[in-house]
Each structure stands twice: as C-alpha cells, then as structure tokens.
Amino acid sequence: MKYTLALFLLCSPLLKAQNIYPQDYFQSPLDITLVMAGTFAELRSNHFHSGIDIKTQQVEGLKIYAAADGYISRIKIAHFGYGKAIYITHPNGYTTVYAHLQRLSPTLEAYIKKLQYEQESYEVEVFPNPDELIVSKGEVVAYSGNTGSSGGPHLHFEIRDNAERPINPMLFGLDIKDTTPPFIKNVYAYPIGPDSHINKSNEKQKLRLIRQPNNDYVVENVEAYGKIGFAIEANDRQDLAYNNNGLYNIQTFLNGNQKIEIDFHKFSFDESSHINRFIDYEQYINEKHRLQKLYRDTNNPLSIYKNLDDEGYLQIQDSTSSIYKVKVSDYKNNNTWLTINIKGKKYDTIKKEEPFKSNYFIYANKTNELVHDKVAVEFPSNTFYEDFYMDFAQTNDTIKLHDESIAAQKYFTITYDLSHYKPEDLGQLYIGRLVGYYKRPYYSSTKKEGHILSTRTKTLGIYALAKDTVDPTIKPINFSDGKWVSNFRYLKLKIEDKESGISKYRATVNGKFILMEYEYKDDMLTFDFNDNVITETENNLKVIVTDNVGNSSTFEATFYRK
Ligand SMILES: [Zn+2]
C-alpha cells in the first residue's frame, strides 16, 4: 500500500509542477495591473524571448521599481537591442533586468551621463561594483520607455539565475489574468523516412483543423505510413489583451504514451538562436508563420525537450489505427487538445520527386569553401544543421548562395578580391544582400582591407557589390541658425542616410563634445540642455554624421542662450 502511494506520487503531475523558485522575494517592477505584450520564451526572430514584455498603457514614463534589494550590477545604453537597460543583482543570486527604459532615476542618470561625457559616446556599458549603487526593494530605479529595438512603449523584464540563464518570471509569483486557453492555427504532418508517406504523398501535408465546441481540435483522418512527425502553429491569449503570446508547455501522446514534452520555463542565451531548428524554418521564411516541430531532429541542441520517446517521431505500420494527441498549455495551465486519428496504410506506388542537386554538396559537419573567380565563400564546419546541395552561381560581382530558406547556425564569410579595381574606385563600395522584388542592396556589414572586401553573415541569398555615393542628411527640427533658444529644453536634429546607413555621429558646441541621443526609429538626434554643459551666450554647434562606407556630412549653426 505504502509502495503504491509512493509510486503514485512519483508519477503525479502535481509533483512535476512543483515550483522551486522563491515566491515572495520579487515584487512587480510596475504598480499597474500586469498585461503582457509578450511572454517568456515566445518565438521571435532568431531567438526565444528572454523575458516578459509588460504593457505600459501606451505611454512612457511610468515608474519602474527595483523588484528586490540588491545593487546595480550593469547599465547598458545602446541604440538597438535593449536600448537603455539596467541590471540589478540580488543577494539570492538572481539578477533582474529592466529594458527599453526612457530614462534612469536621477542618481543613476547622473552616474551614466558622467560616463557618457567621459567616453564622448551615447552608447556605453558599465559594470558597477557591489558597493557603488545599492538599491532597495520598491525603490524607483527608472522610468519606462521605448528605447532600442522596441515596437511600442513597454517594459521588458527578465529574471536570470546565477549562470545568466533567463527563467520565466511568472514562476516567481507575479500574477496575470489568464483563463483563456491557447489556440491552434495550423497543423502539418511530415513524412520523415525515405519510404514514408502521408495522405498518399511524400511531401509535408497541411491538415484541416476542425474546432470543437469545447475549443479543442480534431483534424480529418490521416492515412500514413512509416516514420512521420507533426508541427503546429499555436499561440496563447490572455484575458486583458488581444495580442498573441507564446505557449508554456507542449506534450504529445501516441495511443496514450508520451512522445515528447517541450517545456519553456528556462533556457540559456547560447541556445536561443537554435530556435531556427525548432521551427520549420523554410515555412517561416516563405509564409511568415512559425510551425513548432513536435519532434527533435538531428543536430538540435535545445534543452527544452523532456520525456522524449523516439525523439517525438511516430512509426506508423501498415493496417493499424492510432490516436495521436497534442496538448498545448499556457502558464496558468489552461489546456487545449488536438486529436489526430491515423490510419496506417502502405502504398508502394507513390512516386518521389527528385530533390534539388548541384555540383556544390555541403557537408554540415565539415568546412566548405566555394571559390569562383574573385569571390570566395567560407562556411566553417557546422554552419548548417544538415547536408544539402547548394544552389551556387556567380555572374560578375553577383553571387547566388542558395536562398534564405536554409538556416545557418554560424556566421560564414564572403570575400571579394578587388585587385582589378583602381584603389580610388574602392572607397564607396560595400557588400549588399539583394532583397525584395526589386533586388535592392541591403548593407551587409562590410570590412575593407586594401583591395579585399568581406562580410560575415548568417543569411543565405543573393549578394552583390554595391556603391553608396549619397551623403547622409542633417536637418534641424526645432531651431535654425542665428536664433535665441534660451527657454529650450532640447535641441533636435533629424539625420538620415539613404543607402548604407548611419555608422556614427558626433556633435560639439564651441569645439566641446555634447551628448546627443540617437533614436533610430524616428531618425532623431536630441540634446538635453539639462546636461548643463552650455555656459556661453554665443554657441557654435557642429554635427558630423558618417555613413557605413565613410561618406560624411557636416551641419553647423550658431545659437544664442542666456
Ligand atoms: Zn521583450
């Protein structure tokens, strides 16, 4: 009897759900009802989301509170990514991260401005000592904003463990309103083995979803044979917002036996880019939606898998009938089920389409080099997840490297030898990836060494040499030359570059550096007179903006202030 009870407990889902994280340690970083614009580990471009995005009522400037006692262990100010971000390390070993901030608290703002003026740069990063900037739980440390790569006002909040692994912050007792179960938008079946087929085809098959009155799903019966797998497009929605969020857990069962569990409660930054192995990447590139594979294919290093049976694949025999079930759950354990009846039936007559072949076979686990005339492309070993025939071609300066639909997990290098060019003609050249219908060159970060141009990229596609002959533009927005600006808080200028993009900018007044914040989303440079670095009446402003190939423009104006 005792033995049976112990066994029952071991298998109980209750035990699995046991939470090992402190529950009352962290307070919410905001004092408003929490509504999520994004959930932990939701699927983003080339990464899993490492925190939660909390909506800030469409405004900036809400108070951000330290989630617990600790010290500011890092401040990073950047044009892209997290924008203005602070990191607080707590005595229990966890670190909380607050990103896309509008500004920091007055103490932190003074600390970082001092550094920005010393380094003469808006972008700075600093790791203060534990005794330098101590904060207490509930202290206002910053104000919410929209800086960096943020598509609207919100707070990006993270909790990381002492190995810098982000953990779902909801596991620490934050609360949200969510009684809405996840929903499934698409389901696909994949023949995996050489003689596998689904619905008389050896191509992947979109299955027709039928929603049941209780919000669960079924699909029309599937006829299949051999090794197969499935993938779903699924999202969650919470009660107080309409936006799509990510799932918390996915489990599949074949005839009652678990095949796979995918658990999104924690990951490490090293593995995040392997999201491209988790989703059907080709489908994502071509159709812009993310199918999550319910099997783990080769060379997939993600740690999100548990309880794997045959890597989540199904082996369907002839003349059988099976029931495959998929359970998708959100953080609040609202569940949605998908049921697929599979009839095993073998056909010998299904003809195979010949796969694409070329003279350029890429071995995933070897270094591969493609050299043609003046262009060389080097793929380090394990750049790709699988072997494949690359569609490679070159015409003059244009090279075709297959297409975007194959994911690379490492950077590869494209090198042009331009020794046949005159040195004076090299200046404005860059390597661009040709994108869109009009095949316009998109600047790919280009390094120049003598007559050698090179770029490192993770994106296949068409590359070519391009020339940027256009200088950046600089336009004053709220002032003009020779004007009094005594009552102004800010000076604003719009800076733009049409082709290769802005690489750097520098502003001085009477020859001395002034700090200008660059917001790439509205092309704006802003100087704040509260920095108190303008002391003269007559001031000569000079702004120099340089693009990625080195074209530069200078703007000069005189303003007066008393
Ligand atoms: Zn975020």
DSSP state for residue 28 in the 8-state scheme: P
Q: Which residue ranges in the chain fall short of pLDDT 70? A: 1-18
- How many angstroms does the Cα of residue 145 sit away from the middle of ligand 1? 12
The span from the CA of 339 to the CA of 328, in Å, is 12
pLDDT of residue 8: 44
Q: What is the dihedral of CA 549, 554, 555, 557, to 10 degrees?
A: 160
pLDDT score for 19: 78
Distance 152 CA to ligand 1 centre (A): 11
Å from CA of 44 to ligand 1 middle: 10
Ligand 1 centroid to residue 48 C-alpha, Å: 10
Q: Which two tokens stand for residue 200?
A: 């008389």
What is the 102 CA–ligand 1 centroid distance (Å)?
A: 15
- For 106-155, the DSSP string reads HHHHHHHHHHHHHHT-S-EEE---TTTSEE-TT-EEEE-B--SS-SSSEE
Distances (CA, A) of 26 to 56, 96, 110, 208, 472: 19, 9, 26, 44, 47
Cβ 326 vs Cβ 251: under 8 Å: yes
Ligand 1 mean position, distance from CA 161 (Å): 18
Ligand 1 centre to CA of 151 (Å) is 10
126, two tokens: 């600093």
Q: How far apart are CA 202 and CA 211, in angstroms?
A: 27
Alpha carbon of 551 to ligand 1 centroid (Å): 34
Distance (angstroms) between ligand 1 centre and the Cα of 156 equals 4
Phi first, then psi: what are they for 196, rounded to 5°? -75, 150
User: Cα(36) to centroid of ligand 1, in Å?
Assistant: 10
Phi first, then psi: what are they for 307, rounded to 5°? 50, 50
CA of 148 to the centre of ligand 1 (A): 11
Question: What's the gap in Å between 127 CA and the centre of ligand 1?
Answer: 22
Cα 465 to ligand 1 centroid, rounded to whole Å: 35
Q: What is the whole-number distance in angstroms between the Cα of residue 53 and the centre of ligand 1?
A: 5
Which stretches of 258-311 are DSSP H helices?
A: 275-278, 281-287
Tell how far the Cα of 304 is from the centroid of ligand 1, in angstroms: 20
502-535: string of b/e by CB count within 10 Å (b at 16+)?
Answer: bbebbbebeeebbbbbbeeeebbbbbbbeeeebe
Distance 42 CA to ligand 1 centre (A): 10
Cα gap 196→546, rounded to integer Å: 57
Residues with Cβ within 8 Å of residue 187, at least 6 apart in sequence: 206, 207, 209, 217, 219, 230, 231, 232, 233, 326, 338, 340
Give CA angle at 212 (206, 216), nearest 5°: 75
Cα(403) to centroid of ligand 1, in Å?
29
The SS3 call for residue 278 is: helix
What's the whole-model pTM score?
0.92
Residue 281 alpha carbon to ligand 1 centre in Å? 22
Q: Residue 329 belongs to what H/E stretch?
A: strand 320-329
Would you state the pLDDT for residue 348?
A: 87
Q: From the CA of 52, how far away is ligand 1's center (Å)?
A: 6
Residue 21 Cα to ligand 1 middle (Å): 21
Residue-wise pLDDT for 125-163, tens only, equals: 999 999 999 999 999 999 999 999 999 999 999 999 999
CB atoms within 10 A of CB 290: 23
Alpha-carbon Rg for the chain, nearest whole angstrom, is 28
Three-state SS at 104: strand
Query: Cα(272) to centroid of ligand 1, in Å?
Result: 14
Q: How far is the CA of 178 from the centre of ligand 1 (A)?
A: 19
| Structure confidence at residue 256 (pLDDT) | 95
- Buried residues in 230-239 as b, exposed as e (16+ CB within 10 A): bbbbbbbbbe
**C-alpha span between 204 and 188 (Å, rounded):** 7
Please give the structure tokens belonging to residue 425: 């003609």
